[in-house]
């Protein structure tokens, strides 16, 4: 059985891996890889109206529309992250 500290440490190890997948998906405009990162019940807020999106199906459409706006190459950089998690 994992202790709370071990669960927290494992969660914090997984977050950078997921962030790397986000960057890979963004750079390659890979909507399927992007969707692996989102919960089907997710709620997100964006700068594109209607501003609030519920559910991963809506999120998929938003990413498809977003990627269509960019010409290749597309890049993104994540920096100065401070990652913590709860024990859950």
pLDDT tens-digit map of 35-57 = 998 888 888 887 777 888 888 88
Residue that wins the pLDDT comparison between 76 and 8: 76
Dihedral sign for Cα 50, 55, 56, 61, please: negative
pLDDT at 19 over 80: yes
Mean of pLDDT over the chain: 85
55 torsion bin: left (phi>0), alpha (psi -120 to 50), beta (else): left
> How far apart are the C-alpha atoms of 17 and 32, rounded to whole Å?
17
- Residue 19 and residue 34 in contact, taking contact as beta carbons nearer than 8 Å: no
Are the C-beta atoms of residues 34 and 22 closer than 8 Å to each other? yes
Q: Measure the CA–CA gap between 75 and 62, rounded to whole angstroms.
A: 18
pTM tops 0.85, yes or no: no
Q: Is the pLDDT at 33 greater than 90, yes or no?
A: yes
């Amino acid at each position: 059985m994992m202790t709370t500290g071990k669960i927290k440490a494992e969660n914090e190890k997984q977050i950078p891996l997921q962030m790397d997948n986000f960057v890979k998906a963004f750079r390659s405009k890979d909507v399927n890889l992007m969707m692996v990162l989102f919960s089907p019940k997710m709620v997100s807020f964006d700068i594109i109206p209607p501003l609030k999106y519920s559910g991963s199906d809506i999120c998929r459409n938003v990413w498809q529309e977003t990627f269509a706006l960019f010409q290749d190459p597309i890049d993104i950089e994540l920096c100065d992250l401070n990652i913590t998690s709860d024990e859950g």
